[in-house]
Amino acid sequence: MAYNQAYNAYKTTNVKTASQGRLVVLLYEEAVRQLSSASSMYDADKKLPVKNIEKFGNAILKAQEIITELQVSLDMEKGGEIASNLMALYIFFNKQLTEANIKKDKDVLDSILKMMKDLCESWTQAAASSANAPAAPVQQTLNIEG
């Protein structure tokens, strides 16, 4: 019990103190975790056992909620073409995941999972490089108002 409370406190602090880049990485990591969980529920014949259907659907829905959060966080004005491409990709992911959820299609799910892992890795590298970048110099200004 105490371990769960400590872990939850750690997670909350991790999110509250994270940079924007790190928050994006945390979202991707959780989406990948949910999709990996859903993918692991299939049996060896790529069939989803009846006992796993509800958990499978919940994992897919959580991943879709995260992807939607990534969508609404895009700054389309500042992001330009990259933001537009990510928006199209997120829309595609959600459509494909809806199809995977309805049809219980492991191949579709695994395809999206692979792309999400690749994006997660890219965001991790980008967040790390921006965290190590030198800070912009602080400009001193003269206050003539008194």
- 129 band by pLDDT with thresholds 50, 70 and 90: confident
- The per-residue pLDDT for 28 is 97
The ranges assigned to domains in the chain are: 11-129
- The per-residue pLDDT for 132 is 57
What letter would DSSP give residue 136? P
The CATH classification number of 11-129 equals: 1.20.120.340
Report in angstroms the alpha-carbon separations of 95 from 64, 68, 103.
9, 11, 12
- φ, ψ of residue 73 to 5 degrees: the values are -85, -5
- The per-residue pLDDT for 130 is 73
Summarize pLDDT for 19-39 with one digit per residue, the tens.
888 999 999 999 999 999 999
- The per-residue pLDDT for 1 is 62
CB-CB neighbours of 48 under 10 Å:
18
H helix intervals, 17-105: 20-39, 53-72, 76-103
Summarize pLDDT for 40-56 with one digit per residue, the tens.
999 999 999 999 999 99
Summarize pLDDT for 63-121 with one digit per residue, the tens.
999 999 999 999 999 999 999 999 999 999 999 999 999 999 999 999 999 999 999 99
- The per-residue pLDDT for 143 is 46
Q: Is the pLDDT of residue 13 over 90?
A: no
Q: Is the pLDDT of residue 146 over 50?
A: no
What letter would DSSP give residue 50? G
